[in-house]
Structure formats: C-alpha cells, structure tokens
C-alpha cells in the first residue's frame, strides 16, 4: 500500500498521520520531503504511525536522520499509535531508546509540555490559547497577541484545543463564537465545559470583517483585562 500522509497542527506541534508502508523509494522520499518542508515552520513533530503496516531499514534510517537534524534545531520527533509490529521494529533495532513513543496523539502532544525546563522553547506554557476555524483570523490574532508579549498557542479545532488546554493550562482562551457554542461531540463538550471555569474571550460573529486596527485594539484590551495586565 503506498504511503499517504496527512498533517495538522496542534499549537506549535505538527502531527503527521501516516498510512501504508515506509520503505525505500517513493514512500521514503515523500516522507523525507514532508519533514524537510516542516522543519522551516516548526521543529516539533509527532509521527502518527497507526496506519503504517511495514517499515524497512531505509525508512527507519530516514527517521533517525530526521530526528538528528531536528535535534540540531532544538526540535524533536515523537512517535504515537504505532502498531505492535512497528513498535517491535523499534525495539529490535534498539531505536526505541532514541524515539519516545506514546499510545495516542493526545499523549504525545502532552509529552512535549513535560520536557525539562530549558528544552521547551517552542512549546512553553501559554498565557493565551486561541481557537478559531479561520486560519487567516487565527494568524492575525495570534500575531497581534505575540507582538504584545503574550505566549500564544493556536489551533483551528476543538479536539486539538482540548489536548492543548489540558497540557498547557492557559490563563485565557480566545475562541470563535461558533466553536464556543459547540457541544455535540465529546471533545467539544469536554473543552467547553473546562473553558467554563476559565477566562474566555469570544470573537463575535463578524469579527473577520471589522477594521483590523480596531479589532486588534479591542482584543488586546480584553486580554489585558482578563490577565489583570495594565
């Protein structure tokens, strides 16, 4: 089965969901290119191997080389959801001591936030968690808050938001109004229930169409007020 790769972001962490075979040739080349492209954006990567049924020595070698390169950039690769067969390949080669493995994606994301102080530059605890479906709006509010000195993590969906919320314990949540209303799924219900106990700033319907300067000033004022900042 050819290798397929899907990706999404959980805060500053990129999750690559792999299905098929990681073997010498086109499959390894595709994964290598994906990892290479990601390194410029974020050196923190989770490889979700739940759909991978075979990996050869070349494929494992690629992962080793990628890990070494990411570590030189103060990054890491974590493995999650590997099948018994793939986990055994890591064990038999001794590479299980090099790659930390987790049972689930949520556990792997949380694992980045358990790193020792001084090795967590890109995944430091956040002041503000931003959750918004529009990637453009998310980029805008994230950068506005970072420019003001806040530590911000962002995501476009509630399942990842739930993972980040429990892992980082932010002081303030900035969330799109539509997402704040969602309770239909287990992740949505759990996230919004936990959010009820925190300081939440809802982005109103039509936020994306407001004057950019006015919208940014109002948002900063709300965040400062929520954090007790001057």
pLDDT tens sequence across 15-36: 999 999 998 889 889 999 998 8
Which uninterrupted H or E stretch holds 163?
Answer: helix 158-168
By CB atoms closer than 10 A (0-12, 13-18, 19+), residue 83 is middle
Does 118 reside within a domain?
no
Beta partners for residue 17, in sequence order: 6, 48
Give the tens place of pLDDT for each residue, 118-150.
444 445 556 899 999 998 898 899 889 888 888
Provide the pLDDT confidence category of residue 230 given band limits of 50, 70 and 90: low
Give the CATH number for residue 131.
Answer: 3.40.50.2300
Does 199 reside within a domain?
yes
CA 128 to chain centre: 15
Does 119 reside within a domain?
no
Do 130 and 167 sit in the same domain of this protein? yes
pLDDT over 60 at 88, yes or no? yes
Do 148 and 105 sit in the same domain of this protein? no
Say which residues have a Cβ less than 8 Å from residue 76's Cβ, sequence separation at least 6. 43, 44, 45, 67, 70, 112, 115
Predicted TM-score (pTM) of the model is: 0.74
Give the CATH number for residue 92.
Answer: 3.30.750.24
Last residue of a domain, one of 67, 89, 112: 112
DSSP letter at 184? S
d(Cα 173, Cα 164) in Å, to the nearest integer? Answer: 11
Q: Which domain holds residue 85?
A: 4-112
Does 117 reside within a domain?
no
- Strands of the sheet containing 101-102, edge to edge, are 4-10, 13-22, 44-55, 76-80, 101-102
């Amino acid at each position: 089965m050819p290798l397929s790769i899907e990706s999404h972001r959980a805060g500053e962490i990129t999750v690559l969901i792999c299905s098929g075979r990681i073997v010498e040739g086109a499959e390894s080349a595709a994964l290598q290119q994906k990892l290479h492209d990601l390194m410029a954006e974020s050196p923190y990567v989770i490889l979700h191997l739940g759909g991978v049924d075979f990996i050869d020595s070349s494929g494992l070698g690629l992962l080793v080389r990628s890990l070494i390169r990411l570590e030189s950039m103060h990054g890491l690769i974590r493995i999650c959801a590997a099948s018994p067969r793939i986990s055994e390949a890591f064990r038999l080669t001794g590479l299980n001591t090099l790659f930390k493995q987790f049972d689930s994606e949520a556990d792997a994301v949380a694992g980045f936030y358990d790193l020792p102080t001084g090795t967590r530059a890109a995944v430091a605890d956040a002041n503000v968690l931003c959750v918004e479906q529009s990637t453009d709006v998310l980029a805008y509010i994230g950068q506005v808050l970072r420019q003001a000195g806040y530590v911000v993590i962002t995501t476009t969906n509630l399942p990842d938001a739930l993972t980040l919320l429990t892992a980082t314990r932010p002081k303030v949540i900035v969330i799109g109004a539509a997402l704040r209303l969602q309770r239909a799924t287990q992740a949505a219900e759990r996230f919004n229930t936990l959010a009820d106990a925190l300081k939440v700033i809802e982005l109103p319907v039509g936020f994306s169409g407001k004057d950019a300067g006015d919208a940014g000033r109002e948002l900063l004022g709300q965040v400062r007020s929520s954090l007790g900042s001057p």
